[in-house]
Structure 1
Amino acid sequence: MAGTPPRLEIRNIVRRFGGRNVVDGVSLQVQPGQVTCLLGPSGCGKSTTLRIIAGVDMQNSGEIYVDGKLVCDTIHRVPPEGRGIGLMFQDFALFPHLTIAQNVAFGLKGSAAQKRARVEELLSRVGLLHYAEEHPHQLSGGEQQRVALARALAPRPRIMLMDEPFSGLDNRLRDDIRDETLAVLKEEGTAVLLVTHEPDEAMRMADEIALMRDGRIVQQGAPYNIYNTPVDRAAAAFFSDINVIQGTVRGALTETAFGQFLAPGVPDGTEVDIVFRPQHLKIDFDRSGKGPNPTPLAGVPARGVVERARFMGRESLVEFRMDFDGSILKATVPSVFLPKPGTPLWLTVRRERCFVFPRKE
């Protein structure tokens, strides 16, 4: 509805420790039913931002709003229990002496019948109603994760804050639990802010990603846009392996062994990095771009010699030492492709899949 405020909004949050801005002017909005991921390396300020929103830490400046109402600035502060915010962490923090039903009911208000109905509703939703009278140690890690989710949702929080909640689970179980958790949160219409350092998790779960670095949000948008239009070389590298070739701009063009690359708006003489992912380095089997997988925008072939080839399951990773400068470039090839070390091959690069960034020292 037009004019409806976001469920969660933070404006210009700053948190200083020891004279350093650990969180440096962070602003974002999360709508009901939306999942936003704060993504970035360890120490970039993600978890501190979450603690400030939860009310367990205090910002030095900035404001926090829930449904358009101020809940915290440097003067006014609603206590954590009054913010309508749920919390989920890597440590499930279930009470070992309470049953599963008692864990979910902990902190609920209302009559015994109302509490029981809510507990049964949520345990049914996460598929654990038959474990209601068991204790946490009798459940697997994935089942405990679902109990933690049910407990966090029980008081119907308007906002859910999640700090690396799936990192303690093995990979195959993690995917299932993430998908189940996301489905339940969407059904509840909860605004979710998820902290993670794993790009795959952010891409899988998020409606919007806020990429953090050194206490700041450096890029924000839908996963597709963040991945395909990175703001700089570091942003591209955070999501996957990258290849980098270097050049100098002359007349809005950069000359390389793969041909010319456009660099519109970049001043002449600027040193640039041309960045592309391994899946966009293509093998040109006949040096003409007319092989089994023609790439019309690939440009000029350049020769490389195979250094190493490994089968990775769904694809093969081949490393080449390039003739033009001795650098190593990586290519991923679908299925099995394992040329012997020392094999010379011609390579091309998909121009439309390359990013040109001014080089940073």
Structure 2
Amino acid sequence: MRRSRRADTSALKSDDFHRDTQEAPVTATATPTAPRLEVRNLVRRFDGKRVVDDVSLSIAPGHVTCLLGPSGCGKSTTLRMIAGVDLQDEGQILVDGNLICDTVFRVPPERRSIGLMFQDFALFPHLTVGRNVAFGLSGSKHEQRERVVELLDRVGLLHFIDEYPHQLSGGEQQRVALARALAPKPRVMLMDEPFSGLDNRLRDGIRDETLALLKEEGTSVLLVTHEPEEAMRMADEIALMRDGRIVQRGAPYNIYNAPADREAVAFFSDVNVLQGTVKGALVDTPFGQFLTPGQPDGARVDIVFRPQHVGIDFDRAGRGPNPTPMQGAPARGLVERARFMGSESLVEFRMDYEDVVLKATVPNVFLPKPGTPMWLTVRRDRCFIFPVVG
């Protein structure tokens, strides 16, 4: 059973902390207009293949950027190069406008003023919570003790200072790992899927607490995640990565509402897709005509829209609602399946045209029976039009 007691900080002994002091990080004068972290044209090859392909990004002091993408797209490799545990084949990495690594010059990882947090927390099981947080701190024993007490108090774990990691819950271990990473006051924090091992019920709270503490410290953060919800919740900017490249960068609102391509839309939510052929800057669909600016005649296009932007209306003796400029024309389909998802219901329709299946989400409980005829409409201002690739 886990012990929990209030720690007497005056009882902290000098042997609770490392006797060896680490060499201080390289001191650098920040250029007033320079980003805190800047990555320029980073390339990494494995077996001749570019797993990181010309990646560039920058993070302002105190801001959070999420490197978001599917597994295997090069996110963690990018993080490893910035941390200094892997060496790029091309490109530069700068902190506060000062070069810390290119293909010739390289500041050692421990002197980059960059903190690291990993998915498994990587706490030392044989060290107490206090000694874990103090690991790698320089300065006098008194200074180390003050910093450890300050951070553990801020994450609400000061009373666990003499406990060991196995005596803590997963959420408590995550907060210890955060305190340890922040202890040396890094300019930049790199976080690789740090919340994925937590229970869903704890995750949102821990994420919010972590973000608040990082903001208080003024630390710039690069967070790697494959979860769009996590990126939307935490990021000032999202860098969407695919096949080793950053395909789009921007604020969460802009990434979600102005996606670069069909794959970008689909990464954040389920999508419905209609295809058509452009004629006179228009494409005909069962929902009426759509404008296709910039697309030549004869081009095939995808019309992409999310299930929450599909309207549903009842069948009235074979008729649906009247067309409107916002919703266009209605199209008829039969309910194929309806599922209650908690705060909303997901309804799938087999449309009368071309046997296409479309999805719609509606608030609360709406579970029409399979085979029920209904009419669907699509909001024109929530549709994205992209040329068909391939």
TM (normalized to structure 1)? 0.97
Q: Which residue of 2 aligns with 1:208?
A: 237
Give the one of 219, 228, 235 matched to 2:257.
228
Q: Is residue 45 of structure 1 aligned with residue 45 of structure 2? A: no
Distance 1:11 1:90 in 2: 26
Q: Aligned partners of 2:39 and 2:122: how far apart in 1? A: 27
Question: 1:14-37: CA deviations, max 9, x gaps?
Answer: 001101001000000001110000
8 Å CA contact retained: 1:289, 1:296: no
Aligned-residue offset at 1:325: 1.3
| Structure 1 CA distance for aligned equivalents of residues 339 and 103 of structure 2 | 55
**Cα distance in 2 between the residues matched to 1:126 and 1:251:** 61
Deviations, residues 115-143 of structure 1 (Å, cap 9, x unaligned): 11100110011000111111111100000
Match of 1:359 in 2: 388
Match of 1:162 among 175, 184, 191: 191
The reply to whether residue 306 of structure 1 matches residue 335 of structure 2 is: yes
Q: Deviations over 1:172-200 (max 9, x none)?
A: 11111111000000000000000001111
Moved over 2 A (4+): 284-290
What residue identity is the alignment partner of 1:208?
E
Aligned 8 A contact 1:89 1:164 in 2? yes
Distance in structure 2 (CA, Å) of the matches to 1:98 and 1:70: 35
Do the aligned partners of residues 296 and 130 (structure 1) sit closer, same or farther apart at CA in structure 2, a change above 3 Å counting? farther
Residue 117 of structure 1 is matched in structure 2 by 146
Cα drift, residue 296 of structure 1 = 5.2
Query: Which residue pairs with 1:61 in the alignment?
Result: 90
Give me the whole-angstrom Cα distance separating, in 2, the residues matched to 1:341 and 1:135: 56
**Who is 2:309 aligned against?**
280
Q: Could you tell me how far apart the structure 1 residues matched to 2:271 and 2:75 are? A: 24
Deviations 1:154-186 (A, max 9, x none): 000000000000000111111111110000000
Q: Report the alpha carbon displacement of residue 324 of structure 1 after superposing the two structures with TM.
A: 1.1
Corresponding residue SS for 2:347? strand
Contact 1:38–1:194, Cα closer than 8 Å, also in 2:
yes
User: Cα offset for 1:3?
Assistant: 4.8
Q: Is the contact made by 1:6 and 1:29 (CA closer than 8 Å) also made in structure 2?
A: yes
The 3-state SS of whatever aligns with 2:127 is coil
Instruction: Provide, for residues 53-89 of structure 1, a one-character-per-residue CA deviation record: whole Å limited to 9, x for no partner.
Output: 0000000010000000001011111000110000000
Query: Contact 2:337–2:369 at 8 Å: present in 1 too?
Result: yes
Residues 339, 347 of structure 2: 8 Å contact kept: yes
Counterpart AA for 2:49:
R
Does residue 1:269 correspond to 2:298, yes or no?
yes
User: C-alpha distance in 2, partners of 1:22/1:313?
Assistant: 39
Q: Is the 8 A contact 2:118 2:191 kept in 1?
A: yes
Distance of aligned partners of 1:100 and 1:289 in 2 relative to their CA distance in 1, 3 Å threshold: farther
Checking the alignment, whether the CA contact within 8 Å between 2:345 and 2:367 is kept in structure 1 is yes
Aligned to 1:97: 126
1:170 aligned partner, one-letter code: D
Q: 1:330 aligns with which of 334, 342, 359?
A: 359
Alignment-mate amino acid for residue 150 of structure 1:
A
Identity of aligned residues (%): 76
Measure the CA separation in 2 of the matches of 1:22 and 1:6.
Answer: 25
Distance 1:62 1:96 in 2: 37
Distance 1:251 1:89 in 2: 53
Contact preservation (8 Å) 2:336, 2:350: yes
Count how many residue pairs are aligned between Structure 1 and Structure 2. Answer: 357
1:199 corresponds in structure 2 to: 228
**Using the alignment, how far apart are the partners of 2:185 and 2:31 within structure 1?**
24
Q: Which has the larger radius of gyration?
A: 2
Residue aligned with 2:359, SS: strand
User: Separation in 2 of the partners of 1:3 and 1:241?
Assistant: 43
Query: Secondary structure of 2:332's partner?
Result: strand
Matched, 1:72 2:101: yes
Pick the aligned partner of 2:63 from 30, 34, 37: 34
1:288 CA drift (Å): 2.3
Relative distance call for 1:289 and 1:142 in structure 2 (3 A) is farther
Indicate which of 14, 28, 48 corresponds to 1:19: 48
Contact 1:88 1:160 in 2 (8 A): yes
Residue 212 of structure 1: SS of its match in structure 2? strand
Specify the SS of the correspondent of 1:44: coil
Tell me if structure 2 keeps the 8 A contact 1:98–1:135: yes
Aligned to 2:5: none
| Alignment gaps of 5+ in structure 1 | none
1:255 is matched with: 284
Quick one: distance in 2 between partners of 1:234 and 1:182?
28
Kept after mapping to 2: 8 A contact 1:5/1:68: yes
CA RMSD of aligned residues (A): 1.3
Which residue identity does 1:277 align to in structure 2? Answer: R
Q: Is the 8 A contact 1:289 1:298 kept in 2?
A: no
Aligned partners of 2:226 and 2:114: how far apart in 1?
A: 22
User: Secondary structure at the residue paired with 1:282?
Assistant: strand
